[in-house]
Amino acid sequence: MTQPSSVFDDSDVADGTGLIIPLQPPSSAQVFHTVHSEFGHCDNQLQRHTSRHPLGVPLERTEEQDPPYYILITTYLSFVFFICLGHLRDFLGKRWNPELYSHLIPSDGYAAFSSDFDSFYTRRLKSRLDDCFSRPVTGVPGRTIILLDRVSPDYNATFHLTGKHIRGLNVSSYNYLGFAQTQGGCADAVETSIGRYGLSSMGGRMEGGTTDLHVQAEALVSRFVGHEDSIIGSMGFATNSTTIPALVGKGSLVISDEYNHASIRYGVRVSGAQVRMFKHNNMEDLENLLREVISQGQPKTHRPWKKILLVVEGLYSMEGTLVNLPAVVALKQKYKFYLYVDEAHSIGALGPHGRGVCDYFGVNPRSIDILMGTFTKSFGAAGGYIAGPKPLIAALRIRTHAGSYAEAMSPVVLTQVIASMGSIMGVADSPKHLEVSSSASTSTIQANGLRDGSEGRERLRRLAFNVRYLSRGLKKLGFITYGHEDSPVIPMLLFNPGKMLLFSRLMLEWKVPIVVVVVAYPATPLVTSRVRFCLSASHVKTDVDMLLRACDEIGDLLDLKHGHVKERWTVDKIIDNALQIAKDASFS
Amino acid sequence: MEDSALEPLFVFIAYSVSTIQRSFNALPGSAVIVRYVKSSHQNDPFRTILEAILVIFAIRTLLQSRTRSDTTGRHFIKFTANEIDELVDEWSPEPLVPSLNEAELADLASVPVTVGPPGPKPKLQSTGKTAINLASYNFAGLSGNDKVKDRAVSVLRNYGLGSCGPPGFYGTNDIHLDLERDIANFLGTEAAIIYSQGFSTISSVIPAFSKRGDIVIADRGASRSLRSTVRWYDHNDLNSLEEVMQSVAKEIKTKRWRLTRRFIVTEGIFENDGAMSDLPKLVELGRKYKYRLILDESFSFGTVGRTGRGLTELYNVPANQIDLIVGSLANTLAGCGGFCAGSRIAVNHQRINGTSFVFSAAMPGMLAMAASEGIQILTSTPSILSNLHTNIFTLRSILDKIDCITIPSHPASAIIHIQLRDPIEPAGNGLPTTARAVSRRPSNPTSLVPRDLVVFDIGAEEKLLQEVVDEALAQGILITRARRLRGQEALEPRPSIKIAASAAVSKKDTEKAASILKGILTKVLGKK
């Protein structure tokens, strides 16, 4: 049934890696409708799990293990070394080779284009690691991804494409539910939509850019997240950065988790509200802060705050931690602040029904004032949404910059949202007004698996299994990982900046290429450089096995195993006991 | 007895002291520190204390986290736990958003919804009928282009839809790289960078370059929030710009500011009224006073010039003379997102410092392809834009003859704003009517308030204009009022009706629409 009509058809390549053709060929009883390289073939119902937090059990704080001192010291030393070397190079370079520094030196009465101090980190530290960043790709960012091979003849100043393609296992894209596909019900729906609507809405939401698809998608989103109404914006970043200024302003206070995303910080800065931060996910610190700010009132004047808005993320993408939502909601009852939850990464990826952190913790979504999320990640689309009570959303439609001035979301993107979200919900069960009627719009969802929601549930359960298996497997191997074990983002600590480069390269050049994301300062604290695995429902158990093997081998080589665990297991033992590892309620 | 009891303790202390001393001496460089402290202490004991305090202070600063609470401040009041509980109980916050008033609700209800594609004659949900579309930014008529659709399907079958990642982490694919190259080639700049939303582009570009202390001179018609020193010049008045530049130069001299980056920020065709900037003059002034020019071409890119390259083509100014050109890919090109074109250094700088580039997912490849294809079509078929220009001319030749309105838009602008000729004065809100008197005094560059402040009653004017829009819709013409965020703009723009000319609408339909509009405008606005 698979039709890899792709121009990237590399089936002639001697495989044996399992990336394109499954290692075990499917039996005659098994029929798969997906392309294995995009969405892995797996019908083993044992390799499934449900992502859910036991009701009534308080969320344990995730511990952040410290590495041995020599690791910390060498990490600091390497930064010190690179900073000194960088300054030395700047000093000599400006004198001997000034044309290379022309944009940093004032000339002809113009000030320097960027200050050498501001760009120091970029030029002297990040440029050494540039090999691991911004690698161009081609094709679909599904279970595997194709890198465009590149070389740098001048120490990362420029890169040239060699024309070669490298297909690797993709544990980097935010493709949590595996909807980044070129085949299947969603892609078919999008194709129909291209034919009917074209690609663009040609205008702002208030000025003729609203189509029936917008209305339909917003109704679906509000039902999905469990709130009264929602508004869709064409860019996730802008959804945060333009909504927050519409909610708070002078005289209001925003309480923000210290690791909140840049878009939230940008929005808060623009809003003109006061901002206070609390220690990441630390509820005691939050309560102390709340007591302080409410009792003290506004600085100097001591007038009471007009309102207090608490902004947290459902899943922190750099840390892999989940917000302690039950505790936050309990605090909300007592301290009467408004709650804004950014579910950019958690929506679709967490909870038994994929409806984000509320679903995961069993919290009523209506007890949260504003639910924000994006479609880029789990739904394989783009843009973001805000859901909340009807009057609030109505006000936002009129009062946000993005609502009035930004372009409306493209109809094809909306179709992808409707099809993928509908397939998780099972739109066949939904009331009539959501029925995707063929007269008013596209006959969006045709495939049966999408209509009754069985395919969506399957994806959720596959993701939950993969995530637990990898997260617990890495710990058992002796690595230090951060975050919650049900988080689809799993950060594994590397510490030394030099190891980032090596780890990323070695994974890519391992016997089966593995494509990973490494992140460092300023996205993380200086010492805790890390690699970030993003798992997907499209991965199969053998992919995770492979990833564990690669990490085991390279981890030994780079001396990365510093975690404290009761008993370290060999990688073979872990792979053999995968089901037990992933499914035990508490496993250590 | 006591002595013997304490003896082990003394021995232990003596032993530890000597061990510490020995290990300290064993440290490489310890002798230098000892010598330094000794000599400095002999010279000036006070200095040792000062240095010790400095060291302690430095450590304290390092250890202080950004989540610290401010319990030591001068204004801090200590409360007991009970008092805090009471204060918490007492506090009642304002509602998160004030509920909408009637005008706003009516505003919201009047938003047109189209069923199906936003082509030249879309079907409207409210009436169920089709209307001539003069609202969509379908300037070149690329919406629903068959060639683009065909290619979109092939992109879908090879790339899927979403990019599933930010550009830095495997979100950039070859379609994005091609688009960046196409834009740079089209405009004639060294490089270009694409952002995933047109609106967020400029608000990310400006802060990426203009840091604290830098000077930005911006047009009053284009307002954004900035952290730098901002000066304003009168809308589209370049003499005013020069005056402001001179005053800044004077200020720099008298206050002895260090050399900082200076920018002029303006729009090619202003979204708010369709006026056009005089680019050659802007470039000349920029050169003269050493300002870099940031030009937002969201509405001029793809509409003016023979092939739609924007103001640079219209005025025949090489694009490399403008430091940063920002534009939208969502309007004419019928894709999504925005771009910023400029020198390679300027573009690469944004790849790390453009917040909404770095922290946002890359745009779907399919939409990037649409923009690339759009550029290709514009370059190969100049007749598309000549159709657009004919339609603009047709519209203007009819609308310009109506007495009761003013059109502030440039004759070449594809968006045409219609305002009431005579502002409706607000009834008794205490604003001095003399503000309308034309003064020759230069405006205050640090304030957004223009020299000749026009006072108008927003509510009344918007209501009248909405009447026109509703009537037009009833007669089969889709136009909209320019929607603005009332109360959030630093300077309230005059209410207006925004008409978007399109190459996709036939000349006959354009003519018909303009005549009908003329009738409605005369009827509704003439009677007041």
Rounded Cα distance between B188 and A274, Å, is 44
For B18-57, what is each residue's pLDDT tens digit?
888 888 887 777 777 777 777 767 667 777 788 788 888 8
Q: Where is average pLDDT lowest: A383-387, A432-436, A466-470, B438-442?
A: A432-436
* Cβ contacts of A237 on chain B, cutoff 8 Å: 196-197, 200, 355-356, 359-360
For A265-283, what is each residue's pLDDT tens digit?
988 988 889 999 999 999 9
DSSP-assigned letter for residue A103: G
Q: Do A355 and A341 meet the contact criterion of CB atoms below 8 Å apart?
A: no
Helices (H), B2-119: 2-26, 30-43, 45-63, 81-90, 102-109
The answer to whether B152 contacts A199, with C-beta atoms less than 8 Å apart, is: yes
In the listed set A397, A417, A446, which residue is the last one of a domain according to the structure? A446
The domain tally of chain B equals 2
Best of B142, B161, B200 to disrupt the A interface (most A CBs within 10 Å) is B161
* Minimal C-alpha gap between A557 and chain B (Å): 25
Over 70: is that where the pLDDT of B417 sits? yes
Q: Is residue B75 situated within a structural domain?
A: no
In the listed set B380, B413, B446, which residue is the last one of a domain according to the structure? B380
B259 or B286, greater pLDDT: B286
Asked if residue B390 and residue B365 are part of one domain, the reply reads no
Q: Is residue B206 situated within a structural domain?
A: yes
Asked if residue B486 and residue B460 are part of one domain, the reply reads yes
Q: Where is average pLDDT lowest: A463-467, B199-203, B401-405?
A: B199-203
For A249-267, what is each residue's pLDDT tens digit?
888 999 999 999 988 998 8
* Minimal C-alpha gap between A522 and chain B (Å): 11
Q: What is the per-residue burial (b if ≥16 Cβ within 10 Å, else e) of A237-251?
A: bbbbbbbbbbbbeeb
Asked if residue A479 and residue A380 are part of one domain, the reply reads no
- Read off the CATH number of the domain in which A264 is found: 3.40.640.10
The answer to whether A413 contacts B364, with C-beta atoms less than 8 Å apart, is: yes
* For range A384-411, the mean pLDDT: 87
* Minimal C-alpha gap between A211 and chain B (Å): 5
Asked if residue A495 and residue A378 are part of one domain, the reply reads no
Asked if residue B125 and residue B235 are part of one domain, the reply reads no
Which residues have a Cβ under 8 Å from the Cβ of A292 and sit 6 or more positions away? B69, B71
Asked if residue B353 and residue B429 are part of one domain, the reply reads no
Closest residue to A195, CB basis, from B84, B135, B149: B149
The answer to whether A241 contacts B356, with C-beta atoms less than 8 Å apart, is: yes
The answer to whether A111 contacts B93, with C-beta atoms less than 8 Å apart, is: no
Asked if residue B373 and residue B474 are part of one domain, the reply reads no
Rounded Cα distance between B190 and A411, Å, is 33
Closest residue to B198, CB basis, from A261, A300, A407: A407
Which token pair is B351?
């790849």
Give how far Cα A34 sits from Cα of A143, A159, A339, A514, B96, Å: 11, 35, 40, 21, 46
Q: How confident is the model at residue A65 (pLDDT cuts 50, 70, 90)?
A: confident
Asked if residue B315 and residue B205 are part of one domain, the reply reads yes
In the listed set A418, A446, A474, which residue is the last one of a domain according to the structure? A446
For A192-225, what is each residue's pLDDT tens digit?
999 988 898 888 888 888 999 999 999 999 999 9
* A187–chain B Cβ distance below 8 A for any pair: yes
Q: How confident is the model at residue B437 (pLDDT cuts 50, 70, 90)?
A: very low
Q: Three-class SS string for B395-412?
A: HHHHHCCCCCEECCCCCC
Asked if residue A424 and residue A323 are part of one domain, the reply reads yes
- Read off the CATH number of the domain in which B247 is found: 3.40.640.10
* Minimal C-alpha gap between B330 and chain A (Å): 7
The answer to whether A402 contacts B92, with C-beta atoms less than 8 Å apart, is: no
Asked if residue B395 and residue B353 are part of one domain, the reply reads no
Dihedral angle sign, alpha carbons of residues A423, A425, A429, A431: negative
Domain assignment of residue A562, given as a range: 1-170+458-588
Rounded Cα distance between A401 and B490, Å, is 13
Asked if residue A512 and residue A366 are part of one domain, the reply reads no
The answer to whether A299 contacts B125, with C-beta atoms less than 8 Å apart, is: no
Over 80: is that where the pLDDT of A81 sits? yes
Q: Is residue B69 situated within a structural domain?
A: no
Q: Is residue A366 situated within a structural domain?
A: yes
Q: Is residue B83 situated within a structural domain?
A: no
In the listed set B353, B380, B407, which residue is the last one of a domain according to the structure? B380
Helix/strand/coil for A387: strand
Rounded Cα distance between A370 and A382, Å, is 20
Asked if residue B447 and residue B488 are part of one domain, the reply reads yes
Over 50: is that where the pLDDT of A435 sits? no
Give pLDDT, residue A6: 45
Residue ranges of A 347-406 with Cβ closer than 8 A to chain B: 369-370, 374-377, 379-382, 391-392, 394-402, 404-406
The answer to whether A295 contacts B88, with C-beta atoms less than 8 Å apart, is: yes
A-B contacts at Cβ under 8 angstroms: 382
Give pLDDT, residue B68: 59
For B60-76, what is each residue's pLDDT tens digit?
776 665 555 556 666 77
Q: Is residue A348 situated within a structural domain?
A: yes
For A116-173, what is each residue's pLDDT tens digit?
777 888 888 888 888 889 899 999 999 999 999 999 998 888 899 998 999 999 999 9
Closest residue to B366, CB basis, from A199, A375, A380: A199
Over 70: is that where the pLDDT of B393 sits? yes
Give pLDDT, residue B427: 59
Q: Is residue B521 situated within a structural domain?
A: yes
* Minimal C-alpha gap between A396 and chain B (Å): 9
Which token pair is A227?
């709130």
* Cβ contacts of A441 on chain B, cutoff 8 Å: 115-116
Closest residue to A262, CB basis, from B158, B359, B361: B359
Question: By percentage, how much of chain A surpasses pLDDT 70?
Answer: 92
Q: Is residue B360 situated within a structural domain?
A: yes
Indicate the average pLDDT of chain A: 86
In the listed set B357, B380, B403, which residue is the last one of a domain according to the structure? B380
Map tokens 């007269």 to a residue.
A439
The domain tally of chain A equals 2
Q: How confident is the model at residue B377 (pLDDT cuts 50, 70, 90)?
A: very high
Domain assignment of residue B285, given as a range: 146-380
Closest residue to A394, CB basis, from B79, B108, B171: B108
Over 60: is that where the pLDDT of A9 sits? no
Q: Is residue A481 situated within a structural domain?
A: yes
Map tokens 């459902």 to a residue.
A314
- Read off the CATH number of the domain in which B414 is found: 3.90.1150.10
* Cβ contacts of A211 on chain B, cutoff 8 Å: 113-118
* Minimal C-alpha gap between A572 and chain B (Å): 31
In the listed set A393, A417, A446, which residue is the last one of a domain according to the structure? A446
Asked if residue B158 and residue B137 are part of one domain, the reply reads no
* Cβ contacts of B485 on chain A, cutoff 8 Å: 398-401, 404-405
* Cβ contacts of A183 on chain B, cutoff 8 Å: 157
Over 60: is that where the pLDDT of B429 sits? no
Which secondary-structure segment (H or E) carries A275?
strand A274-278
Which token pair is A75?
């990490």
Q: Is residue A133 situated within a structural domain?
A: yes
**Angle at A157 (CA atoms; ends A149, A497), nearest 5 degrees:** 80
Which residues have a Cβ under 8 Å from the Cβ of B103 and sit 6 or more positions away? B459, B462, B463
Q: Is residue A274 situated within a structural domain?
A: yes
Amino acid at site B440: R
* Cβ contacts of B211 on chain A, cutoff 8 Å: 115, 118
Best of A199, A368, A438 to disrupt the B interface (most B CBs within 10 Å) is A199
Torsion region of A560: left, alpha or beta (phi above 0 gives left; psi -120 to 50 gives alpha)? alpha
Q: Is residue B319 situated within a structural domain?
A: yes
* Cβ contacts of B155 on chain A, cutoff 8 Å: none
Best of A7, A202, A235, A247 to disrupt the B interface (most B CBs within 10 Å) is A202
The answer to whether B161 contacts A180, with C-beta atoms less than 8 Å apart, is: yes
Q: Is residue B13 situated within a structural domain?
A: no
Asked if residue A440 and residue A476 are part of one domain, the reply reads no
Asked if residue B364 and residue B231 are part of one domain, the reply reads yes
Q: Do B222 and B296 meet the contact criterion of CB atoms below 8 Å apart?
A: yes
Q: Is residue A207 situated within a structural domain?
A: yes
* Cβ contacts of A140 on chain B, cutoff 8 Å: 158-160
Q: Is residue A176 situated within a structural domain?
A: no
* For range A175-200, the mean pLDDT: 90
